[in-house]
Amino acid sequence: MTDDDVDELLSGGIGGRGTPFIVTDAMADWSCMQWSFDWFKKTYGETIVITSASFESDIRMRGRLSDYIDYITEDGDLRGRVPKNFSYVGTECQPDNDGAGDAPAGPQYLVSWDLENISSIGDHFHQPYFMQDRNLLDRLMPETRRAFFNKHTFAFIGAKGSLSQLHNDHDHTHSYLAQILGRKKLVLFSPAEAELVAEMDPFGFTVGGTGLDPRNPDKDKFPRFMETTPFECVIEPGDLLFLPSGWLHCAYGLTAGISVARDSVDRWNFGRWFQSMAITNLPKLASRVVQHPSLQGEGIAPPWLDRVRSDPYLLSLLSTCYRP
């Protein structure tokens, strides 16, 4: 992939919103290609993780990564089953005493696991070679990026049948999904056709849980679905799928697997990313300024910030936007 190749793919496509592409030579020197489920158990097995039945599910569970790895590598259908020693997060999300109600329908999925605060794991992979000199996020000081901006480095670990419902990624970043273990199927739609397949907010983001299921589309709810141009692919170990800013996507685990993802910003999506950071994330950004530990040293913040931090009412309002 040359710079000209990338520019052509990110600037063209449906409605001028780019075209996704798969690169097969981007991960050859990544040490994460040596990962295994057993390696995760030995290295990070005691780490507490939070899982859900799908990307949009409000029902979440908490437990050790080692128990979760045992769960996803079990034989048989995992729908409706939960990992051993896991507990529900929040009493309001638990199923009722009869076992009905909100019990998870699909296998529990470790989706969008934030790796930025887990020591050394993010060193096993990086931006693909064709983005390393053009990603603006890499030019920020690490302390600045952690303090002020959303997370941009994730892992997805799931069982066969794990589901990420139709959505597009935060802040209009480009993103990649790199497959380490297993196989995953994705269906993609251009942001130029987003309103034909999902409810969208004024800033171009999908409203959670409103998108169609490409496996069984509701044509009454989305009568113009047949006018869209879905892109469909299967990624296997060593495949890196690059998604231009705003592209809608859903993913199904064809086997148990591990993927990693990292976001990027270049000249083709800088304007949309900057607007997102400046407008849609302003309350979150302000709350980070008040709460982030790196900004609480003596002499850094004015006295009124200390008063805000010590006021339970104001702090609770800020915590609705951001919880460190």
d(CA 18, CA 5): 12
Centroid of chain to Cα 171: 11
- 179-197 average pLDDT score: 97
Contact 249, 167 (CB under 8 A): yes
Question: 87: burial class by Cβ within 10 Å (0-12, 13-18, 19+)?
Answer: exposed
Amino acid making up residue 280: T
Q: What is the pLDDT of residues 232-264, one digit of tens each?
A: 999 999 999 999 999 999 999 999 999 999 999
Tell me how far apart the alpha carbons of residues 101 and 79 are, in angstroms, rounded to a whole number: 15
Between 155-159, 180-184, 204-208, 316-320, the lowest mean confidence (pLDDT) is in 316-320
**Structure letter (DSSP) for residue 28:** T
Helix (H) or strand (E) holding 234: strand 231-235
pLDDT (0 to 100) of residue 139: 81
**C-alpha closest to that of 214 among 176, 164, 170:** 164
- For residues 108 and 52, is the Cβ–Cβ distance under 8 A? yes
Give the per-residue pLDDT at 102: 45
- pLDDT beyond 50 at 324: no
pLDDT at 178 over 90: yes
Please name every residue paired with 157 in a beta bridge, in sequence order, or none if there are none.
Answer: 110, 258
What's the whole-number mean pLDDT along residues 204-213? 89
CA neighbor of 248 nearest in space, from 203, 196, 202, 189:
189
CB atoms within 10 A of CB 277: 18
The predicted structure's pLDDT at residue 99: 38
Cα–Cα distance measured from residue 288 to residue 145, given in angstroms and rounded to the nearest whole number: 12
Return d(Cα 45, Cα 153) in angstroms, integer. 20
Does 141 score more than 70 pLDDT?
no
Q: Which helix (H) or strand (E) holds 241?
A: strand 240-243
> Whole-model pTM?
0.83
- Please state which of the ranges 103-117, 213-227, 296-310 shows the lowest mean pLDDT: 296-310
Please state, rounded to an integer, the average pLDDT across all residues of the chain.
85
The dihedrals phi and psi of 184, each to the nearest 5 degrees, come to -140, 140
Q: What does 57-124 look like in DSSP terms, one character per residue?
A: -S-EEEEEHHHHHHHHTSSS--TT---TT-EESSGGGS--TTS-SS--SS--BEEEEE-TTSTTGGGG
Q: Pick from 35-44, 99-108, 272-281, 291-300 the range whose average pLDDT is largest.
A: 35-44
**Which has more pLDDT, 23 or 305?**
23
| Close Cβ partners of 177 (under 8 Å, ≥ 6 residues apart) | 156, 184, 186, 235, 240, 241, 243, 251, 259, 260, 261
Tell me, what's the pLDDT at 122?
78
Q: What are φ and ψ of residue 300, in 5° steps? A: -85, -50
